Structures are given as C-alpha cells and as structure tokens.
Amino acid sequence: MSFRGPRSRPRQEEGGGLNNFRVLDQSQPDPVNTPDLPQSSRTFRVAAFVFHLGMSMLESRRGREALVTLISDAWRAFDRRAQKTFIPKSNLQTDLNEARRFVDTFLAKCRAEPPNIIISDRITGEGLAQRVDWPSILGSQIGDYNPKWAAMFRLNKTVVDSAVNAAELRDIEALQKILFLLSISVAHELVHMLMGFMFGDSERLTPPVINHPPGTPRGPRAGESGRYWEAKFFGCVVEAHHDPRDPRGSNQAGIFFGTLDGRRSFPMQHQIILRYVQLDFTVPIYSSNIATSRISTRAVAMQDVRRPSRFPDIASLMSTLNLYLAISKERGQGQPRHWILMLAEENATHGIFYHITGGPMHGKPYEVTIEPKRVESHGIEKRHLIAHVLEKDRQKIKAAVRQAPALFCQRWIVNVLEELEKQGVVPEGTCSKWNEALETDPFSDDGPPSKKSSGGGDTTDA
C-alpha cells in the first residue's frame, strides 16, 4: 500500500509530556491501592522511555502504514451491519485518506493524553491493555476519545524491575533488550486500543483473519491485532524465550527470536535491537536473506516462566460476564418452554446454568439446580442477552437464585430477575419485559399477566 501521510519522524504533541504522564504501582495486597510513582524513580523513567519508544514505532512511516493496513483490513472483515456501529462513519477500507486521518487522530491523542501506565505484579506477559466502553463514559464522537479513560494499561513489574536492575548493574546489553521488549509490548497494546477506538466497545472481538498467521472464521484462532501489526512492521513477531542457563531465571531478558508463521523462526542479532532502541526504524527486522529453522519443541516463552502475584487483581474483579436467558426447543404441543438463566464468559464453550428441574410433569417437586453445562447445549433454541455483569456480582446472582422459592421455571426466573433488578445487576425493566413473555403453566393458574398489569402474578405452586 502506498502511503503519503504525515512525516515519519516521531513527534511530541502539545499538551503531552511528562507532566501528563502517570506511572502507578500495583504491587500492594489491595488491587485498587495503586500509588503514583515519582518522576525521579528509575521505574518511572523506564516506563516513560518504553512508552515513547513504542509510540515512536507506531508514528514512524512504516508504523503508520501498518496501522492503516490493519484498520482497513479489519473494516473489510465485518459485514455492513457491524460497520454501521463503529465510531468512524466513513468506509475505512475504500477511503484510505480517512483511514490515515483516523490513525493520526489516535496517535495524537495518545501523545496528548497518554494512558496511565500501571506497573503490575499481577500479569505474566510483558504488557496488557484491557479496553473499556469509552463512549458510555466520554461520548460517542471521535473527538470525545481520551486514551487515559479508554483502557487499563499495565506493564509487567518483573520485566520493568529487570530493566532497572540491569541499569544499576550497568549491564547495557540486557538493558537494551528489555527496553526493546517492553517498547514492543507498548506498541502492541496501543494497537489493541486503536481497535477499541474504532469499535467503540470493549466486547467486540477482532476477526480471526487479523492475526499472524491469519486464522479462519471457523477455526480455533481468535483475532490478534497486535501480532498483525508486528508482522507488518517488523516482518515477524518478536518473542523472548527462556534461557535455562541464565542464573537470573524469570528476571532475565531471554533469548530473542523472530517468528514467521508459528513454525519457523530465527535468532535476532543484538545490532538490530540496538538500532530500534536508537529510534532507527528504516528497515524491518526480517528480510528474505535471513536463514530460518523450525521452532524447537523445547522452547519456553518467558511469559510462561514468570509467576504473577497471588494477591487479588482488580482486572478479575472488574471483568464482565454475559447473563443470558436461554429458551429450550418446543417439547410438545401446548407445553411451555423451559427457561434457563445462563452465566458465561464471552465466547466460552461452557457456562453456569441456573434453572428449575423436576415438577409435576416429572412427578417430582420443583428443585433449584445450579450446574456447569455447554453453552451450545442441544436442547436450547435461543439465547437472549440480559446484561453484561461484573465478576464481583456473580455471588449476587447465586444468592438471588438460591433465595427464590422453586416454582414453574418461567415464573421462577422472573422472580430472580426482579431481585437482580432491585440490586442493579440487570437493567431496569428486565423483569416486566420477561413477565409479559410468560407462558401458561398447565399445572397451575400461573401464566401471562393481564394487559392491565405487568406485576408479579401468582407465585404459588399448584
């Protein structure tokens, strides 16, 4: 793709700078106790340097070209219905000038309002950016976007501490390797934020074709925009493998390889690492004259060696689950359908089912049942998304389920939803909506409410 965009030289936007750059420490037992680190600390300096280096990679001519290719290809991978929900309203596949403006806007905003960097001992990879639904907080226009509020951006404390330790020991080569690795992680996670800028929500998944190597719609590989950008920019994906001979163990920089297709790789020379650390991005890491070999089956990635803290993590407390109301297939003419509450992670194969078993049809008393089952269970005809709920609210759902007296399954679920609505777990109006959808229980007077009222109805078992 030809690119006649802005200059390739990295630039500092007005309004940014260190005065607007915050680095927080997440190493205390309380996951929300994240004090600011002073600008004089070595940890702050490492974070500031790798953020600038990662941003400079994205801002370079080749970095921008790769970003424009990414969002153009990602746009093309969605149907028109999905495209209409995205924040940019122009077709980013065909209007490349608009795609370039969109990329430039994102990069300028990241310079002016950089995300707060949390140095965390809770993650195993070099970095992690967890997107939030920024339009619901800031507004749904491109100009409303603010990177500080669009993601929780974290760098691995073990890796950052290793950089600080290498600097103190004057181990320049190790320091350069770690800074390079962290800067790639910064760029990689900012690419994820760019996708969130385009999508406007945190739940939408990147299409499988946006990966390196690309996946297929029916295959097991999910999309990974960060790897996609890396492959376009570097010509490969950079990985750090554990060196079992290094006495520093999980604190080492590792042995760096460039991987091409998940099967072949090549060891990276330190000269190329040094060139990138010195802001020379003129050529990719990989070229066709570099010899490659099959990846050893004994290779262990550094992120598989690092061990996260056992302290609770705010990310797990704030992660979201999907609460569905699942409706069974017809069981026979005139028989009401079975309703089930289902709690599952996005794209999970299994979830927790909350439902009623037994009843007069089976000659047994009604019983509240909680069990793990496949999300795509054979007997389910349709799932209705009730709400995105926080992980911390899982216990509220379980308590509401256990407290509701066992009844005809549909009436029982309406009662559970009523309690969850009172607690703010599900949106207002959820209970009345499903109360209107009640079918008649052939073993009781329970059934659809009269048109005059959408109240609770009869809650007794016949």
| pLDDT (0 to 100) of residue 376 | 85
Q: Measured between alpha carbons, how far is residue 226 from residues 29, 44, 73, 230 in Å?
A: 31, 24, 14, 6
CB 31 within 8 A of CB 311: yes
Q: Please, what are the averages of pLDDT over each run of 10 residues along the chain (462 residues)?
A: 35 54 94 92 98 98 98 95 93 96 98 96 93 87 95 96 96 97 98 96 85 74 89 96 93 94 92 97 93 90 89 73 92 83 86 90 87 86 90 86 92 96 91 92 55 33 27
Q: What backbone torsions phi and psi does residue 307 show, to the nearest 5 degrees?
A: -115, 125
Q: Which pLDDT value is given to residue 18?
A: 66
pLDDT given for residue 426 in this prediction = 92
Q: In DSSP terms, which residues pair with 129 in a beta bridge? A: 153
Arithmetic mean of pLDDT over the chain: 87
pLDDT at residue 72, as a whole number: 98
Contacts of 121 (CB under 8 A, 6+ apart): 26, 27, 156, 157, 158, 308, 309, 311
Pairing of strands 23-26, 117-120: parallel
Cα–Cα distance for residue pair 445/431, rounded to 1 Å:
19
The string of DSSP letters for 288-316 reads TTS--EEPPTT--BGGGT----SS--HHH
Residue that is written with structure tokens 């007069």 in the block: 360
The type of residue at 419 is: E
Say how many residues make up the chain: 462
pLDDT tens-digit map of 292-309: 999 888 889 998 999 888
Show the tokens assigned to 3.
Answer: 């690119």
Residue type, 144: D
How much is the pLDDT for 410?
Answer: 95
How far apart CA 315 and CA 324 sit, in angstroms, is 22
Cα 276 versus chain centre, distance: 28
- 103: its two tokens: 């990329």
Angle subtended at Cα 144 by Cα 57 and Cα 31, rounded to the nearest 5 degrees: 70
Instruction: Report the pLDDT value the prediction gives residue 28, as an integer from 0 to 100.
Output: 92
Cα angle at 299 between 296 and 300, to 5 degrees?
165
Q: What does the pLDDT look like over 122-171, one tens digit per residue?
A: 998 999 999 988 998 888 999 999 999 999 999 999 999 999 999 999 99
Closest CA to 199 of 132, 148, 129: 132
| Amino acid occupying residue 40 | S
Q: What tens digit of pLDDT does each residue of 45-88 get?
A: 999 999 999 999 999 999 999 999 999 999 999 999 889 999 99
> What is the structure's pLDDT at 215?
78
Instruction: Write out pLDDT tens, residues 7-23.
Output: 333 444 444 456 789 99
What pLDDT shows up at residue 35?
95
Least Cα distance to 401 among 355, 363, 361, 440 occurs for: 355
